[in-house]
Structures are given as C-alpha cells and as structure tokens.
Amino acid sequence: MALADLTVSVPVLAKARRKKLNQRKKTIVVFLFACLLLLGITVGGILAAETAVTADLSQKYITPSLQHLFGTDQLGRDMLARVVKGLSTSILIGLGAASCSAVLAILLGSAAALLGEKVDAAITWLIDLMLGIPHIVLLILISYALGKGFWGVTVGVALTHWPSLSRVIRGEILQLKETQYVKTARKLGQSSWRIAVKHMLPAVFPQFLVGLILLFPHAILHEAGITFLGFGLPPEQPAIGVILAESMKYLSVGMWWLAFFPGAALIGVVALFDLAGGSLRRLIDPHSAQE
C-alpha cells in the first residue's frame, strides 16, 4: 500500500439522521397543552349550560355562520353551546367512571398478585369472563339493570373498563415480587404492608397513572355510544350521544351540521386524552422516548 493513500481524505460511508428538536421538552409542552385544553372545555361546558338548553324558535335550523359557529337545531338552540356542554358532560362522566374503574383495577390486580393462588385464579377467571362478552352488550345489560340514565351509564362504564388495566397491574406486581430488592426487604423482615407502600407503590404508580389516562378516551367513547343507543343520559341532557341520536332524524334532509360538529369535537377530545396519556408515558417510561 502506498504511503500517499493514508493522507487521502476519509470518505463518509454512512451518516446518521439527526433530529432537531429536543423531544423531551416538546413532550412536556404537548402534555400541558392537552391538559389545559381539556380543562378549558370542561369549564366552558359548565358555563354554557344555560345557553345549551335555551330554545329560540325564531332561530331554527340555521346553517353554521359567524353568529352560530356550529349552527342551530330544530328548537333554535345554539349547537356550539350544546356541543361544549355535551363534551364537558362526557369528560366529567368519563373521568368519574374511568377513575372508579382504575381503582377497581388496582384493587383486583394487586389482590390477584398478592393474595395467593386461589384469589389469583378467581380474579383471572373474572377478567377473562369480562373480556369474553362484547363491551357494548355488557354495557347495555348493566345500564338496563340500573334503569338507564346517568347512573346506568356511569356505573356501566366503571364496571366494564377495569379488566385490561387490572391485568397490567397484576403482571407488574408479580414481576416486582421476584425482584432482588423486594426479596431482600422480605428477608430483612419488613412487614408486607411496608413493602407494599415503600417498594411496590412507587413502581406501580406510574403504570397506573398512564393506564388511567388512557382509560379516559375509552370511557368517553363508550359513554357516547351507549347514550346514542338510548341506554345512557336522558334525552333532555345535551350529551354528545343524545345530540347525535337526534341529528339522525334530520340527516336525510341534509342538515349535516347537526351531526358533523358534535362528532368531530368528540374526536378532538378523545385525541387530546390520547395525546396526554401518550406523552405522559414517554415522560415516565424511557423505553418509548426514542419513538
């Protein structure tokens, strides 16, 4: 090999793709943005409660305009106010029901993992059973049992959404039980209660939080669905499901705005929850940070 070869400029054979933005800061901003927006909608809905049910028969069937951004319905009610109120109701029911569901999930999940084989087998069986009936059929049954209405849908959603999160928590705790530090703590004679609080809770909590936030969108969609079918909130309440069920009557005459905006807004809210949950997961779990 000639000596001159060594001085030849070194060719580049591969170049890494670089990302410009700092991912982590971006994630925090996105998370805060999603939370703030959701809070805004919830508060807005509470403020718009009055307008949402105020009928004005001189203002019927108005197509979307600057005055009524989402148009008005068959009773001349402002659709924007109705949609915001509906979303707000959905968010509140979703939050309430999903939180109850998550509490159920953590209770049953940790009971399965900690209280021995028999309890575990029973709870695992229950989980399989719950997942074996289509959600919506179970929701119809539970809602029917409770006489429909607010309680029917809330309890229904709360009772049907815990199995998958509960499975995650059970798996997490079972794994934790096998870790060295928990085994050591046990050998050192620490009480079960202390181990649970000091060693397990901090490890399970982030999983729980992410799981909880990702339950919200499911809960909201199911609430809207079951209300749409007539098993949820009563017709006089401006819920998204009610609004959409009413809009069906006017669809064939071309009143698209009655159906379009409420649904699109619902997608927005669900997507915001997904966004918040996803970014929280990225912040907590370093493995998904590179995606």
Partner 1 sequence: MTCLTKKHILEIENLSVSFLQYDKGMRQRSLQVITNLSVSVHEGEIVAVVGASGSGKSLLAHAVLGLLPANADVSGTLRFEGKPLTAASIAALRGKGITLVPQSIAYLDPLLKAGKAVRKNKRDAGARKKQRELFAHFQLDPATENLYPFELSGGMARRVLLAAALMDDPRLIIADEPTPGLDLELAKKALADFRAFADQGNGVLLITHDIELALSVADRIAVFYAGTTVEEAPVIDFEAETTLRHPYTKALWRALPENGFAALPGNQPYVKAMPKGCPFGPRCSLFSPSCEGEIPLKTIRCGTVRCIKATGSVEV
Partner 2 sequence: MKRNRLLNFVGKQAAKLIILIVVISMVAFFLVAVSPIDPVQMNTGQAAYANMSLEKRAQLEEYWGVNTPVVEKYTNWAKDIIHGDWGTSLRFNQPVLSVIAERFTNSLLLMIVAWLFSGVFGLLLGIAAGVYRGKLVDKIIKGYALTLASTPTFWLGLLMLMIFAVWLSWFPFGFSTPIGVSAAEATLGQRLYHLILPALTLSIIGVANIALHTREKVIDIMESDFYLFALARGESRGEALRHHCLRNLLLPAMTLQFASISEIFGGSVLVEQVFSYPGLGQAAVSAGIGGDAALLVAIAIISACFVFCGNLIANILYGVVDPRIRRGHGLG
Tokens in use for 21?
Answer: 């933005």
Tokens in use for 133?
Answer: 């009936």
Q: Which of residues 21-60 bind partner 1 (CB under 8 A)?
A: 22-25
Q: Region of 10 please: left (phi>0), alpha (psi -120 to 50) or beta.
A: beta
C-alpha radius of gyration, the chain, whole number: 25
| From partner 2, partner 1, none, interface partner of 47 (C-beta below 5 to 8 A by class) | none
**Whether 255 contacts 61, CB under 8 Å:** yes
Could you tell me which of 265, 253, 228, 221 has the C-alpha nearest to residue 243? Answer: 228
Whole-number Cα distances in Å, 180 to 173, 175, 184, 212, 274: 13, 11, 6, 28, 35
CB hemisphere CA count around 191 (13 angstroms): 3
Residue in 44, 263, 283, 284 binding partner 2, rule: CB under 8 A: 263
**Whether 167 contacts 103, CB under 8 Å:** no
CB of 16 to partner 1, least distance (A): 4
| From partner 1, partner 2, none, interface partner of 256 (C-beta below 5 to 8 A by class) | partner 2
CB hemisphere CA count around 226 (13 angstroms): 34
Residue in 38, 154, 231, 239 binding partner 2, rule: CB under 8 A: 231
CA pair distance 116, 132, nearest whole angstrom: 24
14 in contact with partner 2 (CB under 8 A): no
271 in contact with partner 1 (CB under 8 A): no
| From partner 2, partner 1, none, interface partner of 118 (C-beta below 5 to 8 A by class) | none
Residue in 4, 13, 66, 188 binding partner 1, rule: CB under 8 A: 13
169 in contact with partner 2 (CB under 8 A): no
Q: 55 or 129, CB closer to partner 2?
A: 129
| From partner 2, partner 1, none, interface partner of 6 (C-beta below 5 to 8 A by class) | partner 1
287 in contact with partner 1 (CB under 8 A): no
CA pair distance 152, 144, nearest whole angstrom: 7
248 in contact with partner 2 (CB under 8 A): yes
CA pair distance 70, 79, nearest whole angstrom: 5
Q: 1 or 57, CB closer to partner 1?
A: 1
Q: Which residues bind partner 2 (CB under 8 A)?
A: 129, 131-138, 140-148, 217, 221, 224-225, 228-231, 244, 247-248, 251-252, 254, 256, 259-260, 262-263, 266-267, 270-271, 274
Q: Which residues bind partner 1 (CB under 8 A)?
A: 1, 5-6, 8, 10-19, 22-25, 286, 289-290
